[in-house]
Amino acid sequence: MVLCPGVCEARRRKGGFVLMNGMFGGSFGSNRLSLEEVFRRPFREIPLDHFTIHDPLSPSGNKMTVSMEENQYPVEGKERPNVAFLAMVSKGRSTFVLTDKDIALAEAFFAERWQHPEEHPTLVFLKDVGKAKIELVWKAEKIFAYDEAIFESQHRRIIDDVIGLLEVGVLRAASQDVSSTWTIHRWVQRVILAYLHRGTLKRDDTRARFAPSTILQPGACVEARASLSSSHIGIGAYVGADVSVGTWATIGTCAHIGRHAVICEGVRIGGVFDPLSASPTIIEEGAFIGSHSIVSDGVIVERNAVIAANVSLTSTTSIIDQRGSAFTILKGRVPARSIVIPGTFLQRSKFGDISIPCAYIVGTRNDSEHGDASLDAALHTLREMGFCT
C-alpha cells in the first residue's frame, strides 16, 4: 500500500505568506512536504544554535557566523533568512553546499506563496550564498556532545524537537556529504537514547503514512511515495522517497534507506543506538535487498547493489568478490551495483572442515540501462543461477 503524504491541517502565517492545506503542487514534492512539515509543526523555533557561511572565493577563508540567539542578520540592510528552509535543505548534513535544485525549490516555493518572491529574505540569502559552504550547529549537538547528557532531565524540550525533526527527515542519524562519505551523527544517537530512557514509545500519527499493522516509532521518517506493507520502522530510522518495504520487514533504529530502494518481505535491517560507538546500517539509493536477508552491524550497501534472498551480512561477514582475475575479500561494505548471493567457504579446524557462511559477488548490475530494466536483468541473472530473490 502506498503511503498517503501528510496533509497540512492548519493554515499558518509565516513572514507574510500562508501555508495552505494539502501538499505543495509541482516538482520536488517530497522536499516541499518536508518544508511544509517543518513550518506547521509546533516548534517554538528550529533548534539551530548557529550557522556559518564560508566564502569560496576568499583566499584567506573569510566566513560569517549567524547566531540564532540574535534578532538581527549581521548584514546591514538585510533581514535574517528563515532557518527552517536552511535546515530542510541540509538533509541532516552538518556541512553542505547549496545545489541548483535547492535554489529551484526555493524559487518555486516562494513564487507560489509570496507576491514578490524575489524580495523574500530567504530567497535573497540563498542566491547571495550561491556555492558557499554552509555549516550548521544544532543546539542539541552541543548539549549531547557527551554521554552524560543522556540522563539529564532538563533537556526534555530539545529532545522532543530533535525527535520531531527526525520524523520529517530534517535531521538524520547518518548523512552523506558531497564526496559520498557517510558521517554518523553520534549526538543524534545520544538524543534517541535519552528519549528511550524517558520510556515514551507512542506516536500519534494521524496522516495515514503507513498501512494498517505497520509500526512506525517516534522519530522515524518515511518520505513521500514510499510503500510499506505490514512492517516495523524503528526510532530514528530514515526511509527515503519511493522506497518499497515488504511484509514483515524490519527497519532498525537509526537505519538509513535511500530513495528507490526495495526491501523485500521478511528482511531485517539491523538497528543500533547502544553502544554509541556502533554505526547504523545504511542501504543506499536504488539498492535491492532480497527476501529474508539480514543486513546489520553497520554494513553499508552501496547504490544499486542487488542482494539475493537469504543473504546474511554483518561487519565481520566475508564478502568475496570473484569478478576479477583474483578474488578479493571485503567486510562491512557491498560495492555499488554488485550482485551478491549467499554462500559458504571451508575452514580447517582440529575437528575437520567447517562451512563458514559468507557472501559472493558474482556479477555487476548494468549501468547503461534504465533503473528498472537493470534490476530486472540482475534478478534474471540470479534466477538463472538458481537463487531466489
Domain ranges of the chain: 215-384
Report d(CA 115, CA 163) in Å as an integer. Answer: 34
Cis peptide before 275 (omega within 30 of 0): yes
CATH classification number, 215-384, choose in 3.30.420.10, 3.40.50.970, 3.40.640.10, 2.160.10.10: 2.160.10.10
pTM of the model: 0.70
**Which residues, 6+ apart, have CB-to-CB distance to 24 below 8 Å?**
32, 33, 35, 36, 109, 112
Report d(CA 196, CA 184) in Å as an integer. Answer: 19
Cell 560569517, located at residue: 64
Give the torsion sign (CA, 103, 10, 83, 122): positive
Contact 171, 93 (CB under 8 A): no
Contact 63, 55 (CB under 8 A): yes
Sheet holding 133-138, edge to edge: 63-67, 48-54, 133-138, 95-97
**Which residues, 6+ apart, have CB-to-CB distance to 246 below 8 Å?**
229, 231, 263, 264, 265, 266, 267, 291
DSSP annotation of 112:
H
Q: Which of 224, 283, 244, 304 is nearest to 28 (CA)?
A: 224
Query: Which pLDDT score, from 0 to 100, does residue 368 have?
Result: 61
Q: How many residues does the chain have?
A: 389
pLDDT in tens, the chain (389 residues): 333 233 222 222 233 222 222 222 223 344 555 556 555 554 445 677 778 888 766 666 678 787 776 655 555 556 666 667 777 777 778 888 887 877 787 788 778 777 787 777 777 777 777 777 888 888 888 888 877 666 666 778 888 888 888 887 788 888 887 677 888 888 888 888 888 766 554 444 434 346 667 888 888 988 878 888 889 999 999 999 889 898 899 999 999 999 999 999 999 999 887 777 889 999 999 999 999 999 999 999 999 999 999 999 999 999 999 888 888 999 999 999 999 999 999 888 888 888 899 999 999 988 765 566 777 888 777 777 777 66
Query: Which pLDDT score, from 0 to 100, does residue 59 have?
Result: 65
Radius of gyration from C-alpha coordinates of the chain: 22
Report d(CA 103, CA 183) in Å as an integer. Answer: 24
Specify the amino acid at residue 243.
V
Tell me the Ramachandran region of residue 58: left when phi exceeds 0, alpha when psi lies from -120 to 50, beta otherwise: beta
Query: Which pLDDT score, from 0 to 100, does residue 192 have?
Result: 85
Backbone angles phi, psi at 8, to 5 degrees: -70, 115
Query: Which pLDDT score, from 0 to 100, does residue 114 have?
Result: 76
